[in-house]
Amino acid sequence: MVENGKTWLRQFQRMQALDAWLKETNTTLTQLNGQRKYGGPPEVWDGPPPGKCCEVFISHIPRDVYEDLLIPLFRSVGPLWEFRLMMNFSGQNRGFAYAKYGTNALAMKAIQKLNGYMIEPNCYLCVRYSIEKRHLCIHNLPSSTSVQNLQEVLQVLVEGVERVSLKTGPGIDGVSAVVGFSSHFTASMAKKVLAAELKKHCSLEVFVMWEPGEDLSPNQPSCSQAPKILMQPCFLPCGQANPDPPAPSQGFCGAVGKPVSLTSLQPLVSPVVVLHRFCELNGYGQPLYELSKGLPRSDGFVEFFYKVLIQGVRSSFRGTVMVLPGPNCRATIDEARRAVAQQLLLKMPNSHLAA
């Protein structure tokens, strides 16, 4: 009880310090979708919007450290375009944040200067390039799906859709689509709701994942500390998203049902649940995971070696995945298991992948 009282008092004092700093500096923070944002851009900004590889990911933040300490620290490197601190409903931060600068050079300087910075006694920040993924892959679409009609449907359901391509072939059940978004944020928001929205409004059973490749422009610098890109998707040019998208055409909607006005949003089903359901439907039995943690990499990712035994499949599955460390050991292992399940779903032959 005494320890809980000390923790509560410390939290209260930190919140008071944050409130005093906001008033003193006349700083505005905006709470939105589990994060608290500064800037994007700030009120005074000199220069164009940031390009790629200008954002850094900050982890290992103590749960009672807030923007009054973090923003001045990261602003000491150079002007901030945006700072986003991930928050939970209790008012604590979730242990990680994103800082975006105007140039790649400033982002690199922030990594060099602040990675390993001691924010509190025995608490060291981990700073590395943010992987600003902007592409999602939608699996298990009907074979009659067309690029134009799917793009029109997606523009009604989610924001930021810029382009769509379709891919078929061995190991792909039905049609899969790669969808490019205007930003990592819009892609992240779409990833949370697309599976549920397509099921609700179009009667489709699909699952949505991050596309493993990104289309880095030749004139953009590569992020040396980001994981290597293993596959490059090929997109059909579809132009920019229409700010007032038309209603989906009958060709696509006739097959899958016409979308209606949006109401409640539901979270995306975890790949672990999808894999379990797939094995259950095919009589394979429950997947058995064996995970072995490797050493952390210089870019902050943790490598896990895995072996998954599925009783109905003769051979076991082995490989490696890389994940960002979570706030605790259990969260990191859960994230590794999700990454393993996602990898196995792409390897499963003739899978219907029913969620």
pLDDT in tens, 319-332: 888 877 766 777 78
* Exposure on the CB side of residue 69, measured as CA atoms within 13 A: 17
Query: The domain spanning residue 160 has which CATH number?
Result: 3.30.70.330
Is 170 in the same domain as 105?
Answer: no
- Whether pLDDT at 76 is above 90: yes
Run of H or E residues at 31: strand 30-32
Tell me what pLDDT residue 38 has: 94
Contact 311, 284 (CB under 8 A): yes
pLDDT band of 262, cuts 50, 70, 90 = very low
Shared domain for 111 and 34, answered yes or no, is yes
- At residue 17 the predicted structure's pLDDT band, cuts being 50, 70 and 90, is very high
* Average pLDDT over every residue of 110-135: 90
| Domain-located, residue 264 | no
pLDDT at 31 over 90: no
175 lies in the same domain as 291: no
Write down the pLDDT at residue 225. 40
User: Within this chain, do residues 70 and 37 fall inside the same structural domain, yes or no?
Assistant: yes
Predicted confidence (pLDDT) at residue 97 exceeds the cutoff of 80: yes
pLDDT at 247 over 50: no
Is residue 5 within a helix (H) or strand (E), and if so which, with residue range?
helix 2-25
Q: Are residues 21 and 110 in the same domain?
A: yes
Give pTM, 2 decimals.
0.50
* Listed residue (89, 16, 96, 28) closest to 56, CA to CA: 96
For residue 278, what pLDDT is reported? 77
Q: Are residues 231 and 313 in the same domain?
A: no
- pLDDT for position 170: 54
The closest of 199, 134, 203, 147 to 176, measured between CA atoms, is 147
Give me 209's structure tokens: 């994942």
Sheet holding 302-309, edge to edge: 288-296, 302-309, 317-323
Under the banding of pLDDT at 50, 70 and 90, the label for residue 70 is: very high
Instruction: Assess if residue 46 is contained within a domain.
Output: yes
Sign for the CA dihedral angle at 39, 41, 47, 51 comes to: positive
Residues in CB range of 67: below 8 A, 6 or more apart: 18, 21, 22, 27, 29, 36, 38, 83, 85
d(C-alpha 130, C-alpha 343), whole Å: 22
Question: Is the separation of the CB atoms in 282 and 312 below 8 Å?
Answer: yes
* Residues 104, 59, 187, 340, CA torsion sign: positive
Q: Cα–Cα distances in Å, from 169 out to 144, 176, 210, 235, 282?
A: 14, 9, 19, 16, 22
**95 shares a domain with 49:** yes
Q: Name which residue leads in pLDDT, 276 or 326.
A: 276
Whether residues 171 and 204 share a domain: the answer is: yes
301 inside domain = yes
Q: Is 125 found in the same domain as 38? A: yes
What percent of the chain has pLDDT above 90?
24
The one-letter amino acid at 350: N
* Residue 203 CB-half CA count within 13 A: 7
d(CA 57, CA 61): 11
Q: How many domains does the chain have?
A: 3
161-167 and 135-141: which strand pairing? unpaired
pLDDT for 22 beyond 90? yes
pLDDT at residue number 314: 67
What the block records as the tokens of 165 is 């391509």
Give the residue numbers spanning the domain of 297.
Answer: 271-347
Residue that is last in its domain, among 112, 129, 146:
129
d(CA 180, CA 112): 31
Structure tokens at 89: 């409903």
**Does 263 map to a domain?**
no
pLDDT at 353 over 50: no
pLDDT at position 107 over 90: yes
Shared-domain flag, residues 152 and 88:
no
Helices (H) and strands (E) in the chain, counts: 8, 15
Among residues 89, 104, 129, which one ends one of the domains? 129
Q: Is residue 352 part of a domain?
A: no
Q: Residue 99 — φ and ψ, nearest 5°?
A: -125, 130
- Distance, in Å, from the CA atom of 254 to the CA atom of 266, rounded to the nearest integer, reads 24
pLDDT digits (tens, 9 = 90+) for 191-207: 888 988 888 888 888 88
| 145 plus 74 within the same structural domain | no
Does residue 121 sit in the same domain as residue 146? no
